[in-house]
Structure 1
């Protein structure tokens, strides 16, 4: 056993070494200042795919320091009451909070620990805010030194001048101008409490919303969070004696709603959405915080090609000028477009169209937003699932697209056990087409060309909606955008973004090879390249021949079906239209081997953010994916592919077995492709279930304004020439929007009706 002298000596030596280390650490660290932090602030610089500079933006553009006498006392007490009540009495550090943070970091737990205002000021002045033991020790030493060398007013001034308030605003002066258009000194107590609430986290407490950073940060949710914390802070100020009863009553009388966002310098036109998309990609692929990123010093090299971005914007503007006139027609108000263009076999986003631009008050990126159902553009995933997995009748062997299904309107849908799908009230579920044309039993190829709903709903049930969902997800659609896996799932009740739809169709273009979409090739910080920006891995999402057969069918959509307007491209292409119930959206997604591009068109109430009907828009009875969206796509693709070769598509080999739907005439005659493309002849009789009750109305099955529940399937059966601006052909429509009354209930079949007389439309975070 060691003697007490040895133990005592070792303890004293250990304690002495700790004191020495602490002394050295204390002596070596310097006291920060907000002036030094501002001087270190830099812009972020974004570059086009070819290396040319796109725009510079960041902390260097929206940062000002003010002295404590220019900061209202209400602002000072708001942050003290909310964050550090003992500020004027403590030493500048929270020992228990630091110990908790160090313990958590050592054990792999939550890295966040309680911090005083002094510690937060110290942290704000460092551009790197990594959660490490060494940084925590440095923060502790600096905080102790700051507490002994700076007055409390200097510390509080420094904290308020270096904090991030969101919207690119650093410091209380920039925040006051950004949110209220006034100097900090003129803020009232209610506004001060709001800005103190925003410090909790601008992404989730700015009532303007930040859905581009987090889909849960909606304007409504953020307003509720902000108002709750604002009220709590004022209550704390009152309880702490910093607001009199009269001042408290006045401050809480009305929530001080800030002004809307304004475009930062250089953030105009499509550049605003390109920067938004690239920024979110950086934050998603690193542990950099938004506040840290906005402090600047990053060089972001994007995948965006300027000529293609300009061509896409030009195509939208040309079509808008030709068809949309809000001064002439009320139905033309609030019309929006969203579009994205992705390189197959790579995933690079080369162009996107996000809206009218930040400078026009449109901050939501339409190319990468959710909430707009995609309609019949979903049907190719149903066909791909059938060709890959087969149905319950084929023992795992794929289904041939020459298989016949009943295409008549108002059709009962069967479960795999032969029973009929029922509504919640146990009445029979009927699937609707847009028109009541008697198609009889038609091949899946023909049903795709004409976008007839009933065959694909029954096919989806026969395949199994889980297989359909799996194929869509493997193709590039995010699972969180899926609607409920009920009968209507086959008809596009899901709400992926335009970027994700373009990427998923790129999987067909690349013979089944899928790569996640990406917008950033590399990022440098102060000259050093950051990890995490390698190209996404290419995966074989589906068998080559499955993808090639889907492409062959979608080529016929352009040749003979609802997408004939795309023939103006003058080269081989494939695509699909999609339109939703009540004409609330219209899509066209099409591709060549070089580019896959999706275009969406919709109307949205700017206050409620609910979709509005486009019936009457552009002077047409209804808008379809095959007319206006397809025209935008064609104009863009002409420019984007000008001078490029036309490689066509790989040959599609014969696939699957004939597996007709229940009731199809037997034997099934073999038809040539020429015969298959001919107009339908007299159809066999439909199923004898025609005396059942009418289909449920939206009020019976759908919650109002539930986009995932919208009657949103489509039966696009438009002949050459189309409907609307393309003329009126012999075909039908892209009808069949679907409605799923309970998207979480796979047993609820939903409700679907047709509404797409020859065209289709868009969708929504992907990226």
Structure 2
């Protein structure tokens, strides 16, 4: 259209028509919008939602009509239980476990207040609800569908139905059946009968099914004799029987079960079932020591208990079960479990413990001998397999496994972790020198730890208050000098030290990152320390010691995770620590029991001794290129005496009656002797450490006297001087020279006085009378 036509059109009041193509595009666009609006109207959305709800309700009604309450009785439940079979790595049978410990009791035999402890613990609305908790059940179904596993929320009726009629498997179909049957059971059965069934079918740990067996297992009384406080403990126990069993619980487990016990009693007060004044008078009822199951004497019980725990861990991880549910799926459920235990190595470890310790203990002559407990774990660093384990003299005599207990301090066996952290972080001293094996520190006893020139209020003594003056890190590790590693921890930063400890395998959750931790004051087990040192032996790749090789049940097989994990510290850092630890054996606190041991046949060895404050624990954790073993000795009071209660940690001084000097038990003594008697009989004599480092005793020439006699064990005639050195090198100074050759003659005389100058350079200390010390 031309301009003249446009003008005429305007004059007529007309409008120019839009191009047809544009009109079609616009129309199409509007049609699209209207289509979406037509598809997603609020009426349709609401209608769909209501339709889904009706479908769900309809489906549930059909399910309710179809699913009947199955037959179930105690005999039928017992018949479902089958023995678990545990085998050595070669396939030969180690143990069978599956005797059912259950006695059905009438509810009238259980005091009403004790019954109410269970209701208060698990389901306060039990007497009012219809058998299910809709909110908790919906959450459970959703978690099952999403793979998150069980999150609680079941009523007592639901738990009874699961225990008595169904299985512990976590599937939607099983959960839906549980809901339907629970509703029907609640309608058909009285609340008292449901509660009786629940109390008689629940698993309480210690192989005890039902409240009567639990009352006997934990308090040596019948169910009718249980007090409210004891009933509250058993009710609290159901949440995690093995973790909350006071006899084997960790410090965390004990805190949790006490909190749960208090929760139960507080709920009883809230519900009006317990007078608040009476509640205040109740004291936590510590259970009796458990009795071991038949057929599990010697080391068998310890091995079976750890195997069960590791299998439960995997069921929780892979199937999302709670600890209680996992235990119910493992105990007496017909599992065929093969362990990584090497029959020969296991026998050798048991023999070493007997010859070096238990055969020498005589409680009738020495009271302290009754207080001595030993534990050990041996791990292949290349595979993570636990090839041997010693939990105590006998599972019947000491139910708690000393191999896995975490209530004693690892003491100076923690010092390599501090060095590993320093090397990994490339930490520097207060003077700015990078920390390594040759770095010099002030080894003065009770030296104040400083941070940026400020004292931090921590000044640990060395053993016997010995002042070492300026020493290299290598010498400090050899002699286990507390003051050096306390300062090193501050130089690295205790946060980093604790993080490194966690990465290497020590459970540091809840532990404070304070300077005192440099002395190894947190709790740790031989199992944990074996894992830490195995990771060092494996060039910094994480090793998680694993006992279970395979676990099969009917048609299912539980895959165990790879025991070898990711690189948690660099190979160079790990190898440098290994190199330094060879000096502890050759020139340090382990030389008498390990270096000079006649059974040693050329094996390369790295390791560290440890002795805790007041001689309550003593350790030697060491390794060859092909095997790692941690041995711990623990003072545990066998009976109450004065202010000491049974089970308290006590000094082991004078044990066996054969200890030199002051009779103190130390890591370089009995633990190292057990270690050597075992290791030098099962390790390769030609294996060598393949170290990626230029530092430490393992790669540097060291001065080694050609000693032909054992060092004397007599006390020095004169106490070491505690005076400050007259001239002091800066903390970052490195030794100016390294010995160029090994002396060809043994020193003919021992100096009559202690030197007043700084000790000689690393590796050049003469053989002192062997008096291992606190923290070694």
**Which TM-score band (shorter chain)?**
0.7 to 0.9
What is aligned with 1:364?
Answer: 400
CA contact (8 A) 2:202 2:209 kept: yes
Judging changes above 3 Å, is the alpha-carbon distance between structure 1 residues 117 and 525 closer, same or farther for their aligned structure 2 residues? same
Render the CA deviation track for 1:454-481: whole Å, top value 9, x for unaligned. 3333333334344433443333333338
Render the CA deviation track for 1:716-763: whole Å, top value 9, x for unaligned. 99999xxxxxxxx624654354xxxxxxxxxxxxxxxxxxxxxx5xxx
Matches within 5 A, 1:97-116: 98=137, 112=151, 115-116=154-155
What is aligned with 1:611?
Answer: 649
Equivalent position SS for 2:680: helix
What is aligned with 1:174?
Answer: 213
Judging changes above 3 Å, is the alpha-carbon distance between structure 1 residues 297 and 406 closer, same or farther for their aligned structure 2 residues? same
Q: CA deviation at 1:346?
A: 1.9
Equivalent position SS for 1:166: coil
Render the CA deviation track for 1:268-306: whole Å, top value 9, x for unaligned. 222211122222222222224223333523332222223
Q: CA deviation at 1:573?
A: 1.4
What is aligned with 1:451?
Answer: 480
TM-score between both structures, scaled by the size of structure 1: 0.75
What is aligned with 1:494?
Answer: 522
Matches within 5 A, 1:693-712: none
Match of 2:81 among 27, 30, 41: 41
Aligned: 1:508 with 2:543: no
Judging changes above 3 Å, is the alpha-carbon distance between structure 1 residues 525 and 206 closer, same or farther for their aligned structure 2 residues? closer
> Equivalents in 2 of 1:422, 1:650: separation in Å?
40
> Equivalents in 2 of 1:441, 1:395: separation in Å?
14
Render the CA deviation track for 1:244-286: whole Å, top value 9, x for unaligned. xxxx999x99987754311122232222111222222222222
Structure 1 residues 497-506 or 227-236, which shifts more?
Answer: 227-236
Judging changes above 3 Å, is the alpha-carbon distance between structure 1 residues 464 and 734 closer, same or farther for their aligned structure 2 residues? farther
Match of 1:146 among 178, 182, 185: 185
What is aligned with 1:406?
Answer: 442
Aligned: 1:517 with 2:545: yes
Q: CA deviation at 1:592?
A: 0.6
Aligned: 1:159 with 2:201: no
Equivalent position SS for 1:534: coil
Judging changes above 3 Å, is the alpha-carbon distance between structure 1 residues 73 and 321 closer, same or farther for their aligned structure 2 residues? closer
Match of 1:128 among 161, 167, 178: 167
CA contact (8 A) 1:304 1:351 kept: yes
Match of 1:730 among 765, 768, 771: 768
Matches within 5 A, 1:193-232: 194-195=230-231, 198-202=234-238, 209-210=245-246, 212=248, 215-218=251-254, 222=257, 225-226=260-261, 229=264
Aligned: 1:314 with 2:348: no
Matches within 5 A, 1:513-552: 513-531=541-559, 533-552=560-579
Judging changes above 3 Å, is the alpha-carbon distance between structure 1 residues 535 and 40 closer, same or farther for their aligned structure 2 residues? same
What is aligned with 2:417?
Answer: 381
Q: CA deviation at 1:226?
A: 3.8
Match of 1:421 among 433, 455, 473: 455
CA contact (8 A) 2:116 2:273 kept: no
Matches within 5 A, 1:76-87: none
Q: CA deviation at 1:628?
A: 1.0
Q: CA deviation at 1:344?
A: 0.8
> Equivalents in 2 of 1:422, 1:85: separation in Å?
51
Q: CA deviation at 1:94?
A: 5.0
What is aligned with 2:337?
Answer: 300
Render the CA deviation track for 1:47-104: whole Å, top value 9, x for unaligned. 222222222224x521344566777777767756876688678654455664565577
> Equivalents in 2 of 1:502, 1:80: separation in Å?
43
Render the CA deviation track for 1:623-676: whole Å, top value 9, x for unaligned. 1111111111111113333xx4421222564249x9x96267788234337489
Q: CA deviation at 1:686?
A: 6.7
Match of 1:392 among 428, 431, 439: 428
Structure 1 residues 622-631 or 330-339, which shifts more?
Answer: 330-339
Structure 1 residues 32-41 or 346-355, which shifts more?
Answer: 32-41
> Equivalents in 2 of 1:665, 1:238: separation in Å?
71
> Equivalents in 1 of 2:362, 2:764: separation in Å?
26
Aligned: 1:440 with 2:469: yes
Q: Which has the larger radius of gyration?
A: 2
Q: CA deviation at 1:401?
A: 1.8
Judging changes above 3 Å, is the alpha-carbon distance between structure 1 residues 717 and 224 closer, same or farther for their aligned structure 2 residues? farther
Judging changes above 3 Å, is the alpha-carbon distance between structure 1 residues 390 and 197 closer, same or farther for their aligned structure 2 residues? closer
What is aligned with 1:353?
Answer: 390
Q: CA deviation at 1:588?
A: 0.8
Equivalent position SS for 1:735: coil
What is aligned with 1:50?
Answer: 90
Aligned: 1:662 with 2:704: no
CA contact (8 A) 1:37 1:125 kept: yes
Judging changes above 3 Å, is the alpha-carbon distance between structure 1 residues 475 and 119 closer, same or farther for their aligned structure 2 residues? closer
Judging changes above 3 Å, is the alpha-carbon distance between structure 1 residues 39 and 718 closer, same or farther for their aligned structure 2 residues? farther
> Equivalents in 2 of 1:438, 1:213: separation in Å?
41
Equivalent position SS for 2:206: coil
What is aligned with 1:627?
Answer: 669
Equivalent position SS for 2:549: strand
CA contact (8 A) 1:481 1:496 kept: no
Judging changes above 3 Å, is the alpha-carbon distance between structure 1 residues 717 and 407 closer, same or farther for their aligned structure 2 residues? farther
Q: CA deviation at 1:138?
A: 1.1
Judging changes above 3 Å, is the alpha-carbon distance between structure 1 residues 483 and 271 closer, same or farther for their aligned structure 2 residues? farther
What is aligned with 2:606?
Answer: 574
Judging changes above 3 Å, is the alpha-carbon distance between structure 1 residues 450 and 128 closer, same or farther for their aligned structure 2 residues? same
Equivalent position SS for 2:406: coil
How many equivalent pairs are there?
675
Equivalent position SS for 2:396: helix
Structure 1 vs Structure 2 CA RMSD: 4.5
> Equivalents in 2 of 1:385, 1:89: separation in Å?
58
TM-score between both structures, scaled by the size of structure 2: 0.74
Equivalent position SS for 2:666: coil
Equivalent position SS for 1:341: strand
Judging changes above 3 Å, is the alpha-carbon distance between structure 1 residues 235 and 466 closer, same or farther for their aligned structure 2 residues? closer
CA contact (8 A) 1:127 1:292 kept: no
CA contact (8 A) 1:505 1:591 kept: yes
Q: RCO greater where, 1 or 2, for CA within 8 Å and sep 6 or more?
A: 1
Match of 1:672 among 707, 724, 740: 740
Render the CA deviation track for 1:344-388: whole Å, top value 9, x for unaligned. 12221112222233311x232211122322222222233334444
Equivalent position SS for 2:352: helix
Match of 2:374 among 289, 312, 337: 337
> Equivalents in 1 of 2:243, 2:421: separation in Å?
42
CA contact (8 A) 2:336 2:551 kept: yes
Equivalent position SS for 2:199: helix
Q: CA deviation at 1:608?
A: 6.0
Q: CA deviation at 1:130?
A: 4.2
Judging changes above 3 Å, is the alpha-carbon distance between structure 1 residues 153 and 331 closer, same or farther for their aligned structure 2 residues? closer
Q: CA deviation at 1:497?
A: 1.5
Judging changes above 3 Å, is the alpha-carbon distance between structure 1 residues 348 and 64 closer, same or farther for their aligned structure 2 residues? same
Judging changes above 3 Å, is the alpha-carbon distance between structure 1 residues 229 and 383 closer, same or farther for their aligned structure 2 residues? closer
CA contact (8 A) 1:552 1:652 kept: no
Judging changes above 3 Å, is the alpha-carbon distance between structure 1 residues 420 and 440 closer, same or farther for their aligned structure 2 residues? same
Judging changes above 3 Å, is the alpha-carbon distance between structure 1 residues 674 and 385 closer, same or farther for their aligned structure 2 residues? farther
CA contact (8 A) 2:422 2:492 kept: yes
> Equivalents in 2 of 1:192, 1:239: separation in Å?
9
What is aligned with 1:591?
Answer: 623
CA contact (8 A) 2:615 2:652 kept: yes
CA contact (8 A) 1:406 1:686 kept: no
> Equivalents in 1 of 2:243, 2:429: separation in Å?
53
> Equivalents in 1 of 2:370, 2:282: separation in Å?
35
> Equivalents in 1 of 2:574, 2:120: separation in Å?
61
